[in-house]
Chain A
């Protein structure tokens, strides 16, 4: 009768008012802020003489612009420095907690939110960043907003929102070895396209999703926006609760038990209806590599660069030809024959501890190809510290990787970490748009394991055939 989806439960419990003929006014539980999309919003408040309604529901950090080199307090780029100083001043003026660059907990906003326990099931979460969808991995309704909306939330703690449609994507079965959460995300986008979920909130379900760790779930939800979705969500379960228990800002004592009980009730009721459904078999997924200039232009590593002659429409043919020209790829070339110059392991998609572990496992006992420059940028100071405790930094450094300080880095190249024109990069980030990682740079999106294997081989290689050294211990690296 009144069976509800996860999305509907979270949505319904946050509608402040739903006036006739207007979008619903949705209450926002957590507002994450960073230096790039907030300055104009704070300025707008000042101009209108408005205050921040709930500074206690705001958390800020610096991530997009920060250098990832050791001495990052001195910033050469005066405009970037001014932007970060502006965030500092705004946080002081409006009383907002800021995890600044010197903080032991600084990091990419979508890494530190969950890591510190700010992100919780059933919440509504926004941030002026499209990859806010990441937090949906916890059963939160989390979505990216523009700067005017940042201002709106600062002023009112609400957003007028028209109700999105629902789309359940079930990934059933078991992933093959070395096929990861990133490959689920790329496989889905390859299937439905970069606008395949526009206007919808995706709920990821099915046994392959349930089997993922929280890190893996965050990777899948992170890329929801690349399929055009408003948000991606996964129902909270024991995996979620294990991850959250004991986090700095997780509920404590008796509140924890109450919270878990409430969170358990968030899962989609049996029989609840979705506007759209799609089922994908996990066994059919492979390690993917993008060949073009959007994340939907993707093939399994074992395949070849597609021929525009095989496209489905004139518009698509046009787009494929343009993409191949930009990427300097010939139709029919085997993906495994594509040589690379750079490797980037990082970003809000793939910079968490599990990502670094899986990449280190591939790298262990090998050396980066002499023609390749490779870097690892952990997602946060806490991830970096944990990786160092586990000796992963040594594995990467010994193999010839650069081991850097946390930030968004070469995912979008707002700081000095960029590709040079014509350079080809195996990247664990989320967008292969033209010039995204640097003007004229050529980005291929892959999983951390695939990126690590490419770093060693100098070209893409099927990580399922990889010979792993020292799987049990990282200390045997010579």
Chain B
């Protein structure tokens, strides 16, 4: 995972609350089996004109289509960002598009966790601070801020300084870009011990015993041949 220490970049203001993961990455792109390549599909429906003769062309009113936000790597959005589906593809798509940080007054739980696993920093700020950043990003073309996870601050060139709090463990993982499976496996002895007692419970038995596939084994190839 790519570590996050400090990052200065253009801010894109997405002034909507409750942005759900269905909007961040619509369902038709969840069929792929890779972790990468989702960037072009980020906010797919919002980025395109839906109806009429220009359907499919870029929607000029959408914030990411504005030329000044072309290179934005920080997104400021309304409350409850990332609600809905647990699809990690949302975090992958934001990352792949080039975003390193999302700022909002609140985030949905599962999205929060998914972002952390992919080095995408989520900064939670009070509503009024989010509004300040939103307004400045709308008013000043090419508005940039520097987000420092080390200092837990956000600064712009106008002298604005905002500080934010973040769970210390999450901060540490992001700063170091830690693989948390590795972290959990540090506790393998404790895990073995726990499991030995826990397994005496009835939780896993009875269990399916008819092989990896339960039921008839007919394959797609056979079905297609018939």
* Docked complex Cα distance between A120 and B106 (Å): 33
Are B17 and A83 in contact (CB-based, < 8 A)?
A: no
Pairwise interchain contact B204-A56, C-beta atoms closer than 8 A: yes
Q: Is A74's CB under 8 angstroms from B220's CB?
A: yes
Stretch from A14-22, A179-187, A366-374 forming part of the interface with B: A14-22
- Residues 31-60 of B contacting A (Cβ, < 8 Å): 31-35, 45, 50-51
- With contacts defined as CB atoms under 8 Å apart, how many contacts are there between chain A and chain B in the complex? 234
- B140 in contact (CB, < 8 A): no
Q: Which residues of chain B from 81 to 106 have any CB-CB distance to chain A below 8 Å in the complex?
A: 83-88, 91, 106
Known: A106-B215, A413-B27. A74 touches B33 (CB 8 A): no
Known contacts: A81-B220, A128-B86, A249-B206. The answer to whether A156 contacts B169 by CB under 8 A is no
- State A156–B187 Cα separation when bound (angstroms): 10
Question: In the assembly, what is the distance between CA of A373 and CA of B19, in Å?
Answer: 30
The answer to whether B175 has its CB under 8 Å from any CB of chain A is no
A97 and B214 within 8 A (CB): yes
Interface positions, chain B 166-193, Cβ under 8 Å from A, are: 167-169, 180-181, 183-185, 187, 190-191
CA distance A145 to B31 in the complex (A): 18
Q: Judge whether A151 and B80 touch: CB under 8 Å.
A: no
Report yes or no: B223 in contact with A74, Cβ–Cβ below 8 A.
yes
Residue of A at shortest CB range from B48? A439
Kindly provide the distance from the CB of B146 to the nearest chain A CB, expressed in whole angstroms. 27
Which A13-51 residues have a C-beta within 8 angstroms of B?
16-17, 19, 21-23, 25, 27, 29-30, 36-37, 39-40, 43, 48, 50
Are B204 and A146 closer than 8 Å at their CB atoms? no
Partner of B169, one of A21, A199, A413: A21
Is the CB–CB distance between B206 and A252 below 8 Å?
yes
Which residues of the other chain, A, contact B91 by a CB distance below 8 angstroms? 146
CB of B213 within 8 A of CB of A147, answer: no
How many Å lie between the Cα of A409 and that of B185 in the bound state?
Answer: 38
B118 at the interface (CB under 8 A from A): yes
User: In the assembled complex, how far is the CB of residue B57 from the closest CB belonging to chain A, in whole angstroms?
Assistant: 15
Query: Which of A264-272, A329-337, A429-437 is near enough to bind chain B?
Result: A429-437
Q: How far is the CA of A322 from the CA of B22 in the complex (A)?
A: 16
With A17-B187, A48-B181 known as contacts, the answer to whether A146 contacts B88 (CB < 8 A) is yes
Residues of B within 8 A of A128 (CB): 86, 88
Residues of chain A within 8 A of B214, CB atoms compared: 97-100, 103, 105
A70 at the interface (CB under 8 A from B): no
For B26, what are the chain A residues with a Cβ–Cβ distance below 8 Å? 435, 439
B163 CB within 8 Å of chain A: no
Residue of B nearest to A116 (CB): B208
Q: Which of A59, A123, A152, A294 contacts B180 (CB 8 A)?
A: A152
Q: Which of A120, A144, A252 contacts B203 (CB 8 A)?
A: A120
Let me know if A59 and B208 touch, CB within 8 A: yes
- Any chain A CB within 8 A of the CB of B152? no
Q: How far is the CA of A294 from the CA of B86 in the complex (A)?
A: 16
A228–B204 CA distance with the chains assembled, in angstroms: 30
Quick check: which of B2-10, B66-74, B109-117, B153-161 contacts chain A, the rest being far away? B109-117
Count of interface residues, chain A, beta-carbon cutoff 8 Å: 101
Q: How far is the CA of A195 from the CA of B184 in the complex (A)?
A: 30
Which residues of the partner chain A approach B169 to less than 8 Å between Cβ atoms?
A: 21-23, 162
B139 at the interface (CB under 8 A from A): no
Residue on B nearest A45 in the bound complex, by CB: B181
Name which of B108, B167, B208, B224 has the most chain A CB atoms within 10 A of its CB: B208
Q: Could you tell me which residues of chain A, from 155 to 172, have a CB within 8 Å of some CB in chain B? A: 155-160, 162, 164
* Contact indicator B78/A129 (Cβ below 8 Å): no
Bound: A64/B27 CA distance, A: 10
Once bound together, how far apart are the Cα atoms of A56 and B207, in whole Å?
Answer: 7
Separation of A100 and B217 alpha carbons in the complex (Å): 9
The CA of A436 and the CA of B218, in the complex, are separated in Å by 33
Chain A 411-450 residues near chain B, CB threshold 8 A: 412-414, 421, 431, 433-436, 439-440
Find out whether the CB atom of A439 lies under 8 angstroms from the CB atom of B23: no
Q: Is A102 an interface residue (CB 8 A)?
A: yes
A25 and B181 contacting across the interface, CB-CB below 8 Å: no
User: Is there an interface contact between B80 and A228, defined as CB atoms closer than 8 Å?
Assistant: yes
Query: Which residues of chain A have C-beta atoms less than 8 A from B18's C-beta?
Result: 194-195, 294, 319
CB-defined contacts of B22 to chain A, threshold 8 Å: 412, 431, 433-436
Q: Which residues of B contact A255 (CB under 8 A)?
A: 202
| Binary contact readout A119-149 vs B (1 if CB under 8 angstroms, 0 otherwise) | 0100100001110000000000000111111
Cβ of A459 within 8 Å of any chain B Cβ, yes or no, is no
With contact pairs A37-B88, A434-B45 given, residues A50 and B195 touching in the complex (Cβ less than 8 Å): no
Task: Find out whether the CB atom of B23 lies under 8 angstroms from the CB atom of A80.
Answer: no
User: CA of A42 to CA of B215 in the docked complex: distance in angstroms?
Assistant: 23
Contacts of B114 in A (CB 8 A): 146-149
Instruction: Answer yes or no: B20 CB below 8 A from chain A CBs.
Output: yes
Q: Are B212 and A230 in contact (CB under 8 A)?
A: no
Q: How far apart are the CA atoms of A103 and B215 in the complex, in Å?
A: 5
Expressed in whole angstroms, the Cα–Cα distance for A158 and B194 within the complex equals 11
Q: Is the CB of B198 within 8 A of A27?
A: yes
Residues of A within 8 A of B194 (CB): 16, 27
Closest to A117 in B: B206
Q: With A37-B88, A92-B212, A255-B202 in contact, is A17–B190 under 8 Å at CB?
A: yes
Which 8 A-B pairs have CB atoms at the shortest separation, nearest pair first?
A103-B215, A73-B223, A148-B117, A146-B88, A146-B114, A39-B33, A195-B80, A97-B208
In the complex, besides A130-B84, A413-B27, A414-B28, 19 extra interface pairs with C-beta distance below 8 angstroms are A17-B191, A27-B195, A30-B203, A40-B34, A40-B35, A48-B181, A56-B207, A73-B223, A83-B32, A130-B85, A148-B88, A148-B117, A149-B117, A198-B106, A198-B109, A252-B206, A434-B23, A434-B45, A436-B27
**Could you show 6 A-B contacts with beta carbons less than 8 Å apart?**
A17-B190, A21-B169, A23-B169, A99-B215, A123-B203, A435-B45
